[in-house]
Structure 1
Amino acid sequence: MTESSAGGAGRRQKVQAAEVGTDILTALAELAPATSLSRLAEHVGMPASKVHRYLQALIASGFAEQDATTNHYGLGPAALFVGLAALGRLDVVKLATPYLAELRDELNETCFLAVWGNRGPTVVHVEQA
């Protein structure tokens, strides 16, 4: 095996490991707030021993945590950080406007979109009937 093909195989393994890790993170979100190892392994369709190895790496990086009382697993603070960063990039008005227009057309009524601000609900977009 040449060096370049060995390097390529190593990269593929790393990509596959990242895919498995994100599958487990997604499953933790789906089974939130917390779940057992056996339930998580069943949910992702992997052996519990493999899921456990990945969980240990996710715990070490802060993306998962284990409750010392129940031994159940859940998302950790690093997952919250990433989620909040993604949420911060979300343009709610842009995403909601087509649905708001569809609702207006269906009801033939003026519809508005309000978001919660520091002083309560604030209208940010109106679709006139």
Structure 2
Amino acid sequence: MPRRRNQGQNGNSDEASIGEERDYTVRAVERVCSILNLLQNSIDGVSLIEVGQATELPKSSAFRYLWTLEAHRYVERDEQTGLYRLGLGFVGMQSRHLEVLRERARPWLEELRDEFEETANLGILDGDHVIYVDIVESRHKVRSAASRGDRDPLHSTALGKAIASRLPEARLRDLLQRTGMEQHSDNTITSIEAYVDELAKVRRLGYAVDNGENAPDGRCIAAPLLGTHLPAALSISAPSARFTLKDVEKAAKKLLDVAEQITTNPIADLQLDQTPA
């Protein structure tokens, strides 16, 4: 039986209203794209007024767009300046890239665990913390190991330092001011200036060390993964009594080599920046 079409007061069919709705949806998508493009091209962030001007929206409407994007973590608002910038919700949109990275890193994590007999980790920046994407635990009964999905601070971990060393300084300072730099041990760096100096050392060496900074009895070494679009790093972690600073020096060369292999090894058919969704 054919579906009847209702006529409105002006004799218009439902098709007219559907067409209008489709036009509205297109405009909404275009405005969202305009907002995201504006934020992408900004280093310091943009104001609500600038967003309204770029999208030709009234201030109240622009705010609703930004509020919705912020709720889904695609946009972040600086509480001090009121400026908006891109959020890290886009990491979730690269879930396939992240899964490819995890799959590719897994055998290397196992190799690191077997060679050094300590826990090997893959971490990524998620918001203002480091999240553990994959972990291959040491076989020792006493070992240093988080759980997959656990979150750790940026300022007191080797993974955090390695990832932070690749961030723009302005972005880094904003993250540290937002989270604070809680002291977890006597060795924890709690000054932004001291942390910035520490990252200069990380960039010079190519790797980062957590020397009892996140846990008094722990030690960790990490190297950033430079060939991906994701803010990620690898690390080896262990009790400090068993993983000495001399052991860290020995592990550094291997860790840097593995980090390079994961992102540049041509024999794998996994190009992290070109993986189809």
Answer yes or no: same fold by TM over 0.5: yes
Distance change >3 Å, CA 48–CA 118, structure 1 → 2: farther
Distance of 1:10 and 1:48 partners within structure 2: 20
Shift in Å at residue 52 of structure 1?
2.4
Match of 2:35 among 20, 24, 28: 24
Shift in Å at residue 38 of structure 1?
3.1
1:36-79 residue CA offsets vs partner (Å, 9 max, x unmatched): 2234444x253561432321221223211211111110112322
1:59-117 residue CA offsets vs partner (Å, 9 max, x unmatched): 223211211111110112322322x348x39xxxxxxxxxxxxxxxxxxxxxxxxx847
Paired residues of 2:31 and 2:55 also in contact (CA < 8 A): no
| TM-score normalised over the length of structure 1 | 0.58
Distance of 1:64 and 1:79 partners within structure 2: 9
Q: Which has the higher helix share?
A: 1
Distance change >3 Å, CA 36–CA 3, structure 1 → 2: same
Partner of 1:46: 56
Equivalent pairs counted in the alignment come to 97
Matched, 1:5 2:147: no
Matched, 1:120 2:260: yes
- The RMSD of aligned alpha carbons is 3.0
Larger-gyration structure (1/2)? 2
Paired residues of 2:73 and 2:89 also in contact (CA < 8 A): yes
Paired residues of 2:34 and 2:55 also in contact (CA < 8 A): no
Distance change >3 Å, CA 12–CA 45, structure 1 → 2: closer
What are the equivalent positions in structure 2 for 1:1-129 lying under 5 Å apart?
Answer: 1-42=12-53, 44=54, 46-47=56-57, 49=59, 50-82=61-93, 84-85=94-95, 88=97, 116=227, 118-120=258-260, 122=264, 124=266
Distance change >3 Å, CA 119–CA 17, structure 1 → 2: closer
Shift in Å at residue 123 of structure 1?
5.9
Deviates more, 1:1-10 or 1:27-36: 27-36
Give unpaired runs (5+ residues) of structure 2. Answer: 1-11, 99-225, 228-256, 268-277
Shift in Å at residue 118 of structure 1?
3.3
Distance change >3 Å, CA 68–CA 25, structure 1 → 2: same
2:87 is aligned with what amino acid? G
Distance of 2:92 and 2:81 partners within structure 1: 24
